[in-house]
Chain A
Amino acid sequence: MKSLEELKAIREKMQGQIGIRSESSDQTRVIVGMATCGIASGARPVLTALSDAIQTKGLTNVSVTQTGCIGLCQYEPIVEVLEPGKDKVTYVKMTPEKALEVVEQHLIHGQAVKKYTISEILG
């Protein structure tokens, strides 16, 4: 270790990974439906794509968790985004590609991706 920059590089890389262990109340929660229906329609790749992207981008205030079946099995994989003080946004029929768009636009820039939300698709 010959410079502070080297230390900083390791710190920033690790903060993305360790951030998952923080417990603050102003966290944004991203919840993926992982019941049998969700898993069967491909929730697992969506879940891993989300958690990978969030850690690579260093979004330490976002956590990705799982939940069971919410009853809309035909619209799985379902992803819900809960931001403190805002209404819940529910995305349906997700894919890893769509999930990345959500990370980029919704979680980073604060704009929900309307075209994938339940209200758009169910009408």
Chain B
Amino acid sequence: MYRSHVLVCGGTGCTSSGSAKIIESLQSEIKKNGLKEEVAVVQTGCHGLCALGPIVIIYPEATFYAMVKEEDIPEIVSEHLLKGRIVTRLLYKEMITEDGIKSLNETEFYKKQHRIALRNCGVINPENIDEYIGTNGYEALGKVLTEYTPDQVIQSILDSGLRGRGGGGFPTGLKWKLAKGNDADQKYVCCNADEGDPGAFMDRSVLEGDPHVVLEAMAIAGYAIGATQGYIYVRAEYPIAVERLKIAIGQAREYGLLGKNIFGSDFDFDVDIRLGAGAFVCGEETALMTSIEGNRGEPRPRPPFPAQKGLFQKPTILNNVETYANIPQIILNGPEWFASMGTEKSKGTKVFALGGKINNTGLVEIPMGTSLRTVIDEIGGGIPNGKKFKAAQTGGPSGGCIPAEHFDIPIDYDNLISIGSMMGSGGLIVMDEDNCMVDIAKFFLEFTVDESCGKCTPCRIGTKRLHEMLEKITNGQGTMEDLKKMEDLCYYIKDNALCGLGQTAPNPVLSTLRFFRDEYVAHVVDKKCPSGVCKALLSYVIDADKCKGCTLCSRVCPNSAITGKVKEAHIIDQSKCIKCGACMEKCKFGAISKK
């Protein structure tokens, strides 16, 4: 029995900032102080506040230490664990108030969050099935196998109003119902863990922090539709997630929670992992299944839909990791409980990966209908360096930008679509006044050009042409006619591409054209980039009045573009300047500016 638990985040974020070393050091210090029998060190999944990693939480006091370094460990052990004195200098600053220390759940970051899919992340050891069972794990599976008919399971999911968390927002219960209705000798349950949107890491965090919840939910789905085999399709770039999934599957098999006659019933179910090689298109459902079959990951036309002819031509359901993470809680707490959260057509909560120009980079789970303002200003802690908010990008390369004028819109599936964006899998990238929206659109198009599988022409050639037009505009060679042509091409691609990747690829262009047309016009007509990002439209100039002739700029210039005598004003040769900005950074007199 341990009197104290020291939780160290072992998610990808904290691992890369050195949490593995922290665990080692904790263990050796604890041993040195003779506390080995009293204090347990537990590696957990993501706590969400990735910006402050590595994170160490000590229970029962629930003390939250942020940005812990290896050299802090002796102090934590001798002060906190041995003598019971909190090391205030390492505390998460938000917890310190005038009247002492407030609880973690009272801090801005956690206060407005509601954790369902992430409920175990950062709380349990993901490599120990007993800890999952200790938080009511596998109870939902036991309940459906002993008390529910498959139809009752499907009805519960339908009643809950759960919609797919991978981006499309299709009702999960309906998907299951369609698959159940198709008779076949074999059916499959698949899990889409091929999270590919730039900046998104919700699914990775669930797999790393609570892998058993996905296994349990897949087994429930298998029982509901009559499948005995499941596949988790996960990217090979998620080594920690893959490793923990393997451990989880091994433990579940050993306990008989996967395999034959689960809970003594006649239901058999097993799960295998299939690794993706990092192609973005494999996150599209038909391409994903083609890839599991061992073929090149290319989409195929629908119909037939996967519920009719999916994996190996058998009825198949495919749900996203986060969707599955909600299922056991819906079974245990009832569909009414789930439906009581969120908005009219979007129930429950949604996990977002906050990134970009925001103070609290990390993972948050909020009830549907929370406003963007709450997410960015309150939970996210606002924008660094006092900069002004310009837009939030949701849905990755398939989504769009939400401008400041829609800052108060309640986030749900339908609202986001109505303003030309989409929920997507949950990446939320914040942009401030220093971001050029044309450049952002170009970035996403570059991504889709790279990731287009090439099977259908509208996507293969259309995205390439779109990208070329954006290049032209950011180089200052665009015309107003190009804007019109670009818009027409966007709608053409949307209507004609074969799969979701192509159909949504023009969204970043369309939404920036809609909300930030003035920036496009500035690039085309004035040949200026208002945010000072597009290099071709910039020039660095030296203010002769301010220049003291210190020669520093000419010495740092990598291309010898700056000339001038000592103690005389210097000049930048625009034909040689490569616009790296090194001179402006170094100038002590603020004499250099970009225009």
Residues of A within 8 A of B (CB): 1-4, 7, 10-11, 13-15, 17-18, 20-21, 23, 25, 32, 34-35, 47-48, 50-52, 55-56, 63-68
Residues of A within 8 A of B313 (CB): none
Distance A55 CA – B139 CA, assembled complex (angstroms): 22
**Is there an interface contact between A52 and B103, defined as CB atoms closer than 8 Å?**
no
Q: Is the interface of A mostly helix, strand, loop or mixed?
A: helix
**Is there an interface contact between B133 and A47, defined as CB atoms closer than 8 Å?**
no
Contact with A along B256-270 (1 / 0, CB 8 A): 110001111000000
**Is there an interface contact between B133 and A14, defined as CB atoms closer than 8 Å?**
yes
Residues of B within 8 A of A25 (CB): 103
Beyond A7-B133, A68-B85, is A1–B139 a contact (Cβ under 8 Å)? no
Residues of A within 8 A of B123 (CB): 18, 21
* B3 CB-CB contact with A under 8 Å: yes
* B7 CB-CB contact with A under 8 Å: yes
**Is there an interface contact between A63 and B60, defined as CB atoms closer than 8 Å?**
yes
**Is there an interface contact between A51 and B2, defined as CB atoms closer than 8 Å?**
yes
**Number of chain B interface residues as a range:** 35 or more
* B408 CB-CB contact with A under 8 Å: no
**Is there an interface contact between A34 and B1, defined as CB atoms closer than 8 Å?**
no
Distance A37 CA – B257 CA, assembled complex (angstroms): 51
Contact with A along B134-154 (1 / 0, CB 8 A): 111111001000100000000
30 A-B pairs (CB sep. < 8 Å): A1-B255, A3-B264, A7-B133, A7-B139, A10-B133, A11-B134, A13-B134, A14-B134, A14-B135, A15-B134, A17-B134, A18-B123, A20-B4, A21-B5, A21-B59, A21-B60, A23-B103, A23-B104, A23-B105, A47-B3, A48-B37, A51-B1, A51-B2, A51-B4, A51-B38, A52-B1, A55-B1, A55-B2, A64-B3, A66-B83
Beyond A3-B264, A7-B142, A66-B83, is A20–B59 a contact (Cβ under 8 Å)? yes
Residues of B within 8 A of A52 (CB): 1, 3
Within the complex, the shortest CB–CB distance from A39 to chain B, in Å, comes to 8
Residue of B nearest to A11 (CB): B133
Within the complex, the shortest CB–CB distance from A74 to chain B, in Å, comes to 19
* B131 CB-CB contact with A under 8 Å: yes
* B61 CB-CB contact with A under 8 Å: yes
Within the complex, the shortest CB–CB distance from B4 to chain A, in Å, comes to 7
Beyond A21-B59, A68-B84, is A1–B262 a contact (Cβ under 8 Å)? yes
Residues of B within 8 A of A2 (CB): 256, 261, 263-264
Return the contact of A1 from the options B4, B60, B82, B256 (Cβ within 8 A): B256
Residue of B nearest to A69 (CB): B83
Residues of B within 8 A of A34 (CB): 82-84
**Is there an interface contact between A3 and B5, defined as CB atoms closer than 8 Å?**
no
**Is there an interface contact between B134 and A18, defined as CB atoms closer than 8 Å?**
yes
| CB interface residues, B 102-132, toward A, < 8 Å | 103-105, 123-124, 130-131
Distance A48 CA – B40 CA, assembled complex (angstroms): 13
